[in-house]
Structure 1
Amino acid sequence: MEAISFLIDFILHIDKHLEAFVLAYGPWVYALLFLIVFVETGVVVMPFLPGDSLLFIVGALSGAGLMDYKLACVVLLVAAILGDQCNYSIGRFIGPKVFQWEDSRWFNRRAFDQAHAFYERYGGITIVLARFMPFIRTFAPFVAGVAHMERSRFTAFNVGGAVVWVVGISAAGYFFGNMQWVKDNLEKIIWGLILVPGLIAIFGAWRAGRKEKAQA
């Protein structure tokens, strides 16, 4: 329970935790950033780690002069690209057997089904869109691997999506993260970054499910 409480507090107050880490450990923060993004995007059982909020805070800290923005973007890009490639490879290796899995401590079948429905509806562009959707971005490359999507095509969407995701959100944090209004409402913004994309993903999966039933 303590670990879960710390994780929730870390996600909701990532600005304070990350700033404290920078002040305490300096350049080691780039290794931490790589680890968080790689694990969130590359390990199917870790979809709950912060993504969008992390990028926004990194941009804000860089704008405040606490981090090197260009270096942070390079580290985050490499982590995001390698994470998706790892996830894709895992899905490709496991194959269709994954559809026989049930809910367990380490695998959320409902979240996987939502990602699969979203992928089936939007095809390869899902790899790009999923970058902005918590949970979905963890499962989308895995589903692409299970579906044996052509690796070269997947890689193109992977790289393109990573660039738009990392640069787009971190740039928003860099230019707007240190505005007083943003600081005063940061927790609400973090909640928005978590909930809004998630609701959009659920709605997309629901519509895909309705269309599939209608066609049947």
Structure 2
Amino acid sequence: MLDFLLHLDQNLTFLMGEYGVATYAILFFIIVLETGCVLTVFLPGDSLLVVAGAGAASGLLHLSWLVLVFFLAGVCGDILGYAIGHHIGLRVLRERFPEIVRTEQIERTTRYFARFGKKAVFIGRFIPVIRTFVPLLAGVGRMERRAFATYNILSAACWALLMTGAGYLLGKLPWIQEYIALILFVVLVFTLVTLMVILAALVHGTWKKKLIRGSA
């Protein structure tokens, strides 16, 4: 493990070369969850795109593939959020997960819809947390699907290009290039650990509720 960390840049380059498809699949999966599932709203979104873009500047990843993956993940994530809002509804989520689906977040997102209307789908893409709740409320409110799809696709394309492009430009800086392997490694590990903690908490909460119902 120590040798891996000491030669992190070389090892990450080797691993991403050998398991490139898996790397992009993990990034896709993370962004879909961060964008479309309120239960995993704590996962990194903007920061992951920027760091991945910086990694592309150092040759660890391919910029064109990153933009495509993040674009598709953004679109799919919003579709997932819309579907959850449309088919499950806000009331069920607030009853089962009140510690995550909080009133202040719902009210803040509702204000964005009241102010910007359908354009909130586009604008909300660039605002953490709001990004996750916008498609959910769009589904709850039965927003017209063609308008939702249009703003979803446009915002995902702009988001992927701007955030990944900004990271790519930052990655050209010498001091960023020196530490980008470590930064990317830390971000990915932190993301996966956060995801495991969230899933463990959800499983524990569900199991605890079943025990309470069974003993009632």
Q: TM-score, normalised by structure 1?
A: 0.70
Q: Measure, in 2, the Cα distance between the counterparts of 1:128 and 1:20.
A: 38
When residues 29 and 100 of structure 1 are mapped into structure 2, their CA distance, relative to the original with a 3 A threshold, is closer
- For 2:23, give the aligned amino acid: V
Asked whether the equivalents of residues 22 and 29 of structure 1 are also in contact (C-alpha less than 8 Å), the reply is no
Which residue of the partner structure matches residue 13 of structure 1?
none
Q: Does 1:82 align with 2:76?
A: yes
Q: Measure, in 2, the Cα distance between the counterparts of 1:161 and 1:174.
A: 19
Match of 1:111 among 95, 101, 105: 105
Which residue of the partner structure matches residue 115 of structure 2?
121
Give the superposition deviation at 1:46. 1.2
Give the superposition deviation at 1:83. 0.7
Asked whether the equivalents of residues 93 and 101 of structure 2 are also in contact (C-alpha less than 8 Å), the reply is no
Which residue of the partner structure matches residue 42 of structure 1?
36
Larger Rg: 2
Match of 1:136 among 130, 135, 140: 130
Identical-pair percentage: 33
Q: Measure, in 2, the Cα distance between the counterparts of 1:158 and 1:180.
A: 35
When residues 100 and 70 of structure 1 are mapped into structure 2, their CA distance, relative to the original with a 3 A threshold, is closer
Give the superposition deviation at 1:178. 2.9
Asked whether the equivalents of residues 56 and 172 of structure 1 are also in contact (C-alpha less than 8 Å), the reply is yes
Which residue of the partner structure matches residue 24 of structure 1?
15
Match of 1:55 among 33, 42, 49: 49
Asked whether the equivalents of residues 34 and 79 of structure 1 are also in contact (C-alpha less than 8 Å), the reply is yes
Give the superposition deviation at 1:51. 0.7
Give the superposition deviation at 1:110. 1.7
- For 1:57, give the aligned amino acid: V
Give the superposition deviation at 1:74. 1.1
The count of residues paired between Structure 1 and Structure 2 equals 171
Which residue of the partner structure matches residue 59 of structure 2?
65
- Residues 100-151 of structure 1 deviation map (CA, whole Å, 9 limit, x = unaligned): 7487234222212211111221111111111111110000011111111101
Asked whether the equivalents of residues 101 and 109 of structure 1 are also in contact (C-alpha less than 8 Å), the reply is no
Q: TM-score, normalised by structure 2?
A: 0.70
Q: Measure, in 2, the Cα distance between the counterparts of 1:156 and 1:45.
A: 25
Q: Measure, in 2, the Cα distance between the counterparts of 1:19 and 1:49.
A: 27
Match of 2:168 among 169, 174, 178: 174
Secondary structure (helix, strand or coil) at the match of 2:88 reads helix
Give the superposition deviation at 1:44. 1.6
